Amino acid sequence: MVINLKENKLRWTKGCSARINRLREQYLSFVPSIDIERALSYTKSYKETENEVMCIRRAKALKRTIEEKTITILPDELLVGTRGFRPRAAEILPEIYWRWIEKELDTVACRAQDPYFITEEQKRILKEEVFPYWNLKSMEEFYDANVSDELKNIVFDTGIVFGGRSQCGPGTISANYNDIVLKKGYKGIKEDAEKKLKNLDDTDINNFSKKKFLESVLIVCETMKILGKRHADKAREIASNTEDNVRRDELLKIAEICEKVPYEPSGNFREAIQAVWFNQFMMFTEENADSYCMGRLDQFLYPFYRKDKEKGLISDYEVLELLECLWIKSAEIIWTLDEESTKYYSGYQPFHGVTCGGLTRDGKDATNELSYMMVQASMDIGLHCPSLSVRIHPGTTKEFLMHVIDLIKMGTGQPSIHFDPAAIKILTNKGVSIEDARDWAVVGCIEPQIPGKMCQSDEGSRYNMASAVELVFFNGKSKILDRKVGLSTGELSNFREFKEFKSAVKKQLAFIIKQSCINAQMIDLAHREKLPKPLISSCVSNCVE
């Protein structure tokens, strides 16, 4: 397969165009900072909806955020939309967490790892208008209040069972771009929800929660329409004050696209890639988490690419430039973390995953022109995000492998390589059809998932295996914590054979794993009760259906 793309042997930067180089430098000029717009909108909305069911409250709060947020379109941009009021702005989500923000408010801008700039006025607003309302109302506090004393003893600040998603959304998911976001648009999602609502029997109280969920989806669909419309209006406003004829035409084209997507189905490549970006940053807006992944971008965008190419509406150069715009936009999003977490998740990394290569659903090599361009985009941009994953299999061409190797040689840590037969076997062993299994994408760290068809909290809880040995040494006591956290497996001095020691370690480990599983389920419960996800649910298969 041959496409006319420039080779880039440099270790760092030089995008496919002068525009891309300017956008990259512009991105780097923004200092990571705190954004309080969402926190204010959610606080005001939650105050007004206290007697409504939670999924409706969350949908209304998201809508209010989009109605009130600052709309930013930067010079040179072809893809538009920022999660916060500007690029690299870290949103605060008080309905999930707020206590660590309050605690670190005066140190978050000067901490050693991943500081966020914050103004004194923002601090004042948070202290006076946001934090007071959320006391005992956040998801984190709900989780803390409902965890048993036994679980608290081994989970809270122990380093034995830890992690989980009590301070963020679940993440590790990819929307169904192919069948829902691009083909239906949120207008189609709305129509599906309206049909379901019409057929619900209101006399059956068991349908109440279904009804409210579907109503929350309708609110989300309206929100996405408002999102596009506000960006279209902003683009026209800037165009009216732009003397550069070329840029004016670009802005008017952006307005035309945003007037349509993500509400209407996408009709061409430019509309499709803009719809993808709108959906991506909106998932992060709904919940602060990592790993809201784009999935198999080269597969679901390919029909739009081929159609536009055949009609002479777009060139490979223009497609590559749009992909590189998407790569830069992806890097703008920041996962808001406390100081302790930044020691492990450093670099303002949101872990946007994107996958290319692999097999088609019928078992053929899926590598196409967009696969090459995605690798090239990572070579040209040289940023930490998105996290590119390449699927390879025995039929992957040498030409594509050499292109991937060129990226590896740059030493940026990109891409990760995944072997198709292993991932497909993992999925089919769990009952996934062979067609769906071949359609897998990487989410999270290295988890194989079917985009838009699976939702799994891949790290609901973690545990320290080595701590089982320590607990045996001290008969269930943690030496560092100076208290009992494990089982009483006997004094070490009483063991006469190694098999007794081994058996005790297994008992301690089984106890730790059990507590970790309970912890993960408690976090899932907290999400279900306090953090329904109408936006994400609307673009995942079978939630509305």
pLDDT in tens, 415-424: 999 999 999 9
User: Are residues 158 and 75 located together in one domain of the fold?
Assistant: no
3-state secondary structure (DSSP) of residue 23: helix
Residue 296 in tokens: 């198999």
| Biggest alpha carbon–alpha carbon distance for the chain | 87
Query: Do residues 32 and 348 make contact, with C-beta atoms less than 8 angstroms apart?
Result: yes
| Domain coverage including residue 207 | 184-265
Judgement on whether residues 388 and 526 belong to the same structural domain of the protein: no
Residue 446: predicted pLDDT: 85
**159 and 222 both lie in a single domain:** no
pLDDT of residue 250: 99
Is residue 406 very low, low, confident or very high in pLDDT (cuts 50, 70, 90)? very high
Could you tell me if residue 238 is inside a domain? yes
Q: What is the predicted pLDDT for the residue at 204?
A: 94
Q: Give domain status of residue 381, yes or no.
A: yes
The count of other CB atoms within 10 Å of the CB of residue 32 is 16
- Asked if the structure places residue 492 within a domain, the reply is yes
Task: State whether 407 and 483 are in the same domain.
Answer: no
**Domain termination residue (choose one: 433, 456, 479):** 456
Confidence at residue 517, expressed as pLDDT on a 0 to 100 scale: 93
User: Could you tell me if residue 229 is inside a domain?
Assistant: yes
At residue 416, what is the residue type? S
- State the burial class of residue 30 (Cβ atoms within 10 Å of its Cβ: 0-12, 13-18, 19+): middle
Res 38 pLDDT > 60? yes
With respect to residue 93, please indicate whether it lies within any of the assigned structural domains.
Answer: yes
Per the structure, how many domains does the chain have?
A: 4
Q: What is the pLDDT of residue 290?
A: 85
Q: Can 16 be counted among the known catalytic residues?
A: no
Amino acid identity at 103: K
- Distance between CA 319 and CA 370 in Å, rounded? 8
Both 398 and 468 in one domain: the answer is no
> Residue 79: is its pLDDT beyond 60?
yes
Name the more confident of 239 and 347.
Answer: 239
For residue 455, indicate whether it is catalytic.
no
Q: How far is 358 from 393, CA to CA, in rounded Å? A: 6
- Residues 371, 366: Cα–Cα separation, whole Å: 9
pLDDT at residue 4, as a whole number: 42
Q: Which of 324, 447, 459, 470 is catalytic?
A: 447
Residues 341-348: contacts with CB under 8 Å, at least 24 apart: 342/111, 342/113, 342/114, 343/113, 345/290, 346/113, 346/114, 347/114, 347/384, 348/32, 348/88, 348/114, 348/384
20 in a structural domain = no
Locate all alpha helices (DSSP H) within 164-207, ordered by sequence.
185-199
Give me the percent of the chain exceeding a pLDDT of 90: 87
- Does 233 lie in the same domain as 128? no
Could you tell me if 115 and 241 lie in one domain?
Answer: no
213 with 73, same domain? Answer: no
What average pLDDT does the structure give for the chain? 94
440-483: pLDDT as tens digits: 999 988 889 999 998 766 677 889 999 999 999 999 999 999 99
Confidence of residue 12 (pLDDT cuts 50, 70, 90): very low
Please check the confidence at residue 390 and state whether its pLDDT lies above 50: yes
pLDDT on residue 170:
83
Same domain, 438 and 523: no
Asked whether the predicted pLDDT for residue 65 surpasses 90, the reply is yes
| Residue 1, pLDDT score | 42
pLDDT at 265 over 50: yes
Is the confidence at residue 11, as pLDDT, over 70? no
Give the pLDDT mean for 246-273: 99
Residue 495's pLDDT band, with cuts at 50, 70 and 90, is very high
Q: Which residue, 456, 481, 508, sits at the end of a domain?
A: 456
Q: Is the pLDDT of residue 343 over 50?
A: yes
One domain for residues 425 and 466: no
Arithmetic mean of pLDDT, 373-386: 95
Q: HEC profile for 351-397?
A: CCEEEEECECCCCCECCCHHHHHHHHHHHHHCCCCCEEEEEECCCCC
Q: What is the pLDDT of residue 456?
A: 66
Of 368 and 349, the one with more pLDDT: 368
Residue 418 β-bridge partners: 391
Residue 14 has pLDDT above 80, yes or no: no
Closest C-alpha among 447, 410, 511 to residue 170:
447
Q: What per-residue confidence (pLDDT) applies to 82?
A: 97
How far apart are alpha carbons 285 and 70 in whole angstroms? 13
Instruction: Note the pLDDT of residue 56.
Output: 99
Domain-terminating residue out of 394, 429, 456: 456
432 and 357 within one domain: yes
What average pLDDT does range 303-310 have in this prediction? 98
Q: Is residue 273 part of a domain?
A: no
Check 264, 445, 500, 517 and give the catalytic one: 445
Report the distance separating Cα 448 and Cα 421, nearest Å: 12
Residue 332 near residue 391, CB atoms below 8 Å: no
How confident is the model over 191-248, as pLDDT tens digits? Answer: 999 999 999 998 999 999 999 999 999 999 999 999 999 999 999 999 999 999 999 9
pLDDT tens-digit series, residues 472-490: 999 999 999 999 999 999 9
Mean pLDDT, residues 106-134 taken together: 97
Same domain, 215 and 364: no
Share of the chain above pLDDT 70, in %: 97
**Domain assignment of residue 277, yes or no:** no
The rounded distance, in Å, linking the Cα atoms of 416 and 418 is: 7
Dihedral of the alpha carbons of 332, 334, 339, 342, in degrees to the nearest 10? -80
pTM: 0.94
Structure tokens at 537: 């649910």
